[in-house]
Chain A
Amino acid sequence: MSEGIGAAVKRKEDKRFITGRGKYTDDIRMENQAYGAFVRSPHAHAEIKGIDTSAAEAMDGVIAVLNGKQLKDDAIGDIITGWAIHSKDGNPMNVGAWNPMATARVRHVGEPVAIVIAESQAQARLAAEAVEVDYEELPAVAAATTALEDGAPLLHDNVPGNLIFDWEIGDEAAADAGLAGASHVTELDIVNNRLAPNAIEPRSAIAVYNDIDDHYTLYTTSQNPHVARLVLSAFYNVAPEHKLRVIAPDVGGGFGSKIYIYPEEITCLWASMKTGRSVKWTSDRSEAFMTDAHARDHVTKARMGFDADGKIVGLKVNTVANIGAYASLFATATPTYLYGTLLSGQYNIANVYCDVKAVHTNTVPVDAYRGAGRPEATYVMERLMETAAREMGMDPAELRRRNFITEFPHQTPVIMTYDAGDFHALLEKGQAAADVAGFAARKSEAASRGKLRGIGYSCYIEACGIAPSKAVGSLGAGVGLWESAEVRVNPVGTIEILTGSHAHGQGHETTFAQVVSDRFGLPMDNITIVHGDTDKVQMGMGTYGSRSGAVGMNAIVKAMDKVEAKVKKIAAHTLEASEDDIVIEDGEVKVAGTDKKMAWHEVGLAAYTAHNLPDGMEPGLKEGAFYDPTNFTFPSGTYICEVEVDPETGVVEIVQFTAADDFGTVINPMIVEGQVHGGVTQGIGQALLENVVYDEDGQLITGSYMDYCMPRADDVPSYVLEHSTTVAPSNPLGVKGCGEAGAIGSPPAVINAITDAIGNNNLTMPATPQKVWAAIQEVGLPQAAE
């Protein structure tokens, strides 16, 4: 079937986007709409001594100026973190309180202090500049390692030493013993650079309060509108769930940054109630750099031991993770259960130990961003493997082969049970596609042009499709991570799928419809996907952690199972046959081996007319399901990067990038490839270009696209993609998830390639020309290019 599972169906949603008819939050205008502009802290750390709003209130168009104390007085709750982590000593974590708008103290540049509501955006912004806040500056700290030092400025009274938790996973004594007995130990100091997510659509919110019904509607840039409603109701006391509707219309990219319910959305809802006006706020890019949750920011010391045959005998990892000024929703899960649990990589390692110190600093909160913990783990593993191979004089691919896990299920020493994979096949496919055999010739040809050519591998595994609710609950999660779906078959046989997943670029309107089309043999045109509105869709946990396929689509499958069962009952009754003999194919419901059949829409009509249903059967044809996964899914792959470095300038060109991935069942290869292209580019961005920089006083240096270097089209090559498939055994569709793999697997491949080219392992991300040039100077020019 051309539109079913595995077909490269063109996207249904494209037409509105290519004609400018998409409807993003900022495109919406409400009756009675006013605009909000935030007064933000220019300081990284300061006491608020007073706020003088009188000048602002007198300005043209100003409706109200509201501050954090008023918000607190109205019992709006503090912002929560959703995952409780315990330290290795058994104590619960300590996190600082996070007021939606600061009341007494600001702890990062950009923290909101007040909001101005005015008739126009320009008036609101002008008035926000006229609000005078009396600050008393305090010493600030931006680097997590510095924040742990004695005498460092303290952010929160209830967080001694700025230490949120000191968590561990694995067996330290076993890892130490493994390392002690190793014939070779590779040790690396690793920095995983801080990133800003940079969805191109800035965050936006329109809050609409209806005083007649005491009801709120929030239009917002969310990856998970139901989670937003849940949190706004249960924790922030904005309104009970039945009086709060959250709509996430077209959303222009998320990458994690639009999971969270930020101060701005909460404040707009409250301000709408206070002013009786619809309140719209749209972030500009500078605000985004100061408010959207940042990412990564780990400092790690890692030691990996090998026996004489190159088998890994122990791994010990010590990480300091910067959480920022406040602990955001998934901030505590990201550097723990999404990081430490992946430190076995694709390798059979008996002894793994990791500890993570999570730290408050005077920076924007750090949270999950494309990959979330798994890129950091992969970077540790794959830098270690490549470096170890070089130190031991081994081919880096061969070192990996000797350590690959080959039997499944495989229980790692760090919780995960890998259920499927074929790492040898991925490596072989990757090597063939990258023509590794021809690398030596390419290297010498490059040398003849004065260029240093290098090759680097990354063999990643990740855990996505989060997650089994019971398992994550036992590990501290505050929510279950199932997904829900409803399949509505209309009387004319067309189908609406209501899903709790949310698309913001992933193409669900196409891929989800393909799954339904495949199941019932119906044309794609007859199937519509409904998402992003809490009034339409019953419930959902949303889209992040590459879960829409592995969890969201399988919820649809479960609901379709129920629809199919009822369709068969109706058809069996109508056609006077046994249910067991009914088959559904090509849009028809047939009695196998006979010419008796009903068209699909005839079954729909029969269900709704209810003139001739089996005794006791309810009319209608609409079924829902909640799907709770039984395991994570484990995408894996081999990425091979080839670079050329100009030794005169340190400029790196990525001349070839090959990705061989195993995503399990692929619903739409065109869309899956697009996800890999985007993910790999974000990983290349991290490796070569992107870096959030704070100065020692906590001032954000990279506050716009003038300073924060986003990957452009000429920074990346066209990609070479390969697939090798092992079906995920834990879910009915066999899908694993493809959204994050590219960003997870690619950074170490890039750095391994550069360090191979220049013959110096001492290189940190982003590998800017200046850093690469300095690294070349440090060791001298490799022979090949002289």
Chain B
Amino acid sequence: MTQVTMTVNGKAASGDVPGETLLSDFLREHLRLTGTHVGCDTSQCGACVVLVDGKAVKSCTALAASLDGAEVTTVEGLANGELHPMQVAFNDNHGLQCGFCTPGMIISGIDMVNRYKAEGRELTEEAIRHELEGNICRCTGYHNIVRSIKDAAASM
């Protein structure tokens, strides 16, 4: 067992977990933050994406023990009194249907907007589609996810 301590959604979180525990399991099973989803076993669907120290990470590929001291933000931690602009944009643009891939889509969207802004690059539709290669949605056909992210980029 390994003692893991990290900051999750602004609060200290710790647990004594087997060394092989994935961050996704730590969040879901130990902290009961079930907004982070697991949709595949090959790190491709992206439903599990969270922010680790401000960067998008597939939580199903990271060992919790390797992230001791990290700052993690999950979909549950995005709304700070009011919804994050990316959350609002997904609602406004019908960017979700079943909702299962949505947490990963929203976090990936936030990550790409932040990166493009920091680099002073324009987040075009083509760029959004390319950036979403690590997130699979079976419901929306991506049309409205792309619109949601573009919309949020304007207000973030």
Q: How far is the CB of A295 from chain B (nearest CB, A)?
A: 13
Contact with A along B119-156 (1 / 0, CB 8 A): 00000011011101101111111111111000000000
Q: Return the contact of A253 from the options B87, B138, B143 (Cβ within 8 A).
A: B138
* Interchain CB contact under 8 A, B142 and A713: yes
Asked whether any CB of chain B lies closer than 8 Å to the CB of A308, the reply is: no
Question: Is there a chain B Cβ closer than 8 Å to A404's Cβ?
Answer: no
The one of A19, A199, A713 that contacts B87, using a Cβ cutoff of 8 Å: A19
Q: For B44, give its contact among A14, A706, A742 (CB under 8 Å).
A: A706
Which chain B residue lies CB-closest to A683? B141
For chain B, the bracket of interface size reads 35 or more
Counting CB contacts under 8 A, is A678 at the interface? Answer: yes
Tell me whether A20 and B42 are in contact (CB under 8 A). no
| A704 partner residues in chain B, CB cutoff 8 A | 40-42
Tell me whether B74 is interfacial, beta carbon within 8 Å.
yes
If A10-B92, A681-B142 touch, whether A252 touches B98 (CB-CB below 8 Å) is: yes
A608 lies within 8 A of chain B by Cβ: no
B81-114: CB near A (< 8 Å → 1, else 0) gives 0010001001110101111111100100000000
Report A629-679 residues with CB < 8 Å from chain B CB.
670-671, 673-674, 676-679
A residues 23-43 near B (Cβ < 8 Å) are 23-24, 26-27, 29
Nearest B residue (CB) for A28: B34
Pairwise interchain contact B96-A18, C-beta atoms closer than 8 A: yes
- B76: chain A residues within 8 A (beta carbon): 19-21
Q: Are A20 and B91 neighbours in the complex by a CB distance under 8 Å?
A: no
A710 with B136: CB separation less than 8 A: yes
A-B contact list, 29 entries, CB within 8 Å: A10-B91, A14-B90, A14-B96, A15-B91, A16-B99, A18-B75, A18-B83, A18-B106, A19-B79, A19-B83, A23-B34, A27-B34, A122-B20, A198-B138, A201-B39, A201-B98, A202-B38, A252-B37, A252-B100, A285-B40, A285-B41, A285-B45, A286-B41, A505-B139, A506-B97, A507-B97, A678-B140, A681-B141, A713-B145
CB distance from B133 to the nearest CB of A (A): 5
User: Shortest Cβ distance from A718 into chain B, in angstroms?
Assistant: 6
A200 touches B74 (CB 8 A): no
Closest to B45 in A: A200
Bound state CA distance, A21 and B74, in angstroms?
A: 12
In the bound complex, do residue A713 and residue B133 qualify as a contact, i.e. CB atoms below 8 Å apart?
A: yes
**Residue in B41, B100, B101, B141 whose Cβ sees the most chain A Cβ within 10 Å:** B141
CB of B100 within 8 A of CB of A200, answer yes
In the bound complex, residues from chain A placing their C-beta under 8 Å from that of B91 are 10-11, 14-15, 18
Residue with the highest number of chain B CB atoms closer than 10 Å, among A198, A676, A718: A718
| Whole-angstrom CA separation of A506 from B100 in the bound complex | 13
Chain B residues with CB under 8 Å of A680's CB are 141
A11 to B83, CA, bound (A): 15
Asked whether A504 is an interface residue with its Cβ less than 8 Å from the other chain, the reply is yes
Digitize B37-65: 1 where CB-to-A-CB distance is under 8 Å, 0 elsewhere: 11111101101000000000000000000
Give every chain A residue within 8 A of B98 (Cβ-Cβ). Answer: 199-201, 250-253, 504-505
Q: Do A19 and B97 form a contact, CB below 8 Å, given A705-B45, A713-B145?
A: no
User: B138 touching A677 by the CB < 8 A rule?
Assistant: no
Contact check, A122 vs B42: say whether CB atoms are below 8 A apart.
no
A682 contacts partner chain B, Cβ-Cβ < 8 Å: yes
Does B13 reach chain A (CB closer than 8 Å)? Answer: no
Specify which of B37, B97, B125, B145 lies most central, judged by the most chain A CB atoms within 10 Å of its CB: B97
Which B residues are closer than 8 A to A by beta carbons? 18, 20, 28, 32-42, 44-45, 47, 74-76, 78-79, 83, 87, 90-92, 94, 96-103, 106, 125-126, 128-130, 132-133, 135-147
Q: How far is B136's CA from A678's CA once the two chains are assembled, in angstroms? A: 12
Cβ A20 vs Cβ B34 within 8 A = yes
Most-contacted residue by chain A among B41, B47, B75 (CB, 10 A): B41
**Which of A286, A678, A742 has the largest count of B CB atoms less than 10 A from its CB?**
A678
A 161-218 contacts with B by CB, 8 A = 198-202
Cβ of B94 and Cβ of A200 under 8 Å apart? no
- Give the distance in Å from the alpha carbon of A17 to the alpha carbon of B34 in the complex: 11
A719 at the binding interface (Cβ < 8 Å): yes
The 10 closest A-B pairs by CB, nearest first: A20-B35, A252-B100, A17-B99, A681-B141, A505-B98, A677-B141, A505-B97, A20-B75, A27-B34, A713-B132
On chain B, the residues within 8 Å of A13 by CB distance are 99
A22 at interface by CB-CB < 8 Å: yes
Given contacts A11-B94, A251-B98, A286-B41, contact A199 B133 (CB under 8 A): no
Q: Tell me which residues across on chain A come within 8 A of B37, comparing CB atoms.
A: 24, 200-201, 252
A670 to B141, CA, bound (A): 14
Neighbouring A residues of B39 by C-beta, 8 Å? 200-202, 252, 285
Docked pose: A160 CA to B155 CA in angstroms: 66
Q: With an 8 A cutoff between CB atoms, is A712 at the interface?
A: yes
- Tell me whether A284 is interfacial, beta carbon within 8 Å: yes
Q: Check B140 against A19 for contact (C-beta < 8 Å).
A: no
CB distance from B108 to the nearest CB of A (A): 10
Separation of A26 and B106 alpha carbons in the complex (Å): 21
Contact indicator A253/B139 (Cβ below 8 Å): yes
Determine which of B90, B136, B141, B144 lies in contact with A705 in the assembled complex, contact meaning CB atoms within 8 Å.
Answer: B136
A255 close to B (CB within 8 Å): yes
For residue A506, give the distance in angstroms from its CB to the closest CB of chain B: 7
Instruction: Given A285-B41, A705-B44, A713-B146, answer yes or no on A17-B102 (Cβ-Cβ < 8 Å).
Output: yes
Nearest neighbor of A287 in chain B, beta-carbon distance? B41
Contacts of A149 in B (CB 8 A): none
Most buried by B among A21, A22, A676: A22
Task: Give chain A residues whose Cβ lies under 8 Å from the Cβ of B141.
Answer: 674, 676-682, 711, 716, 719, 742
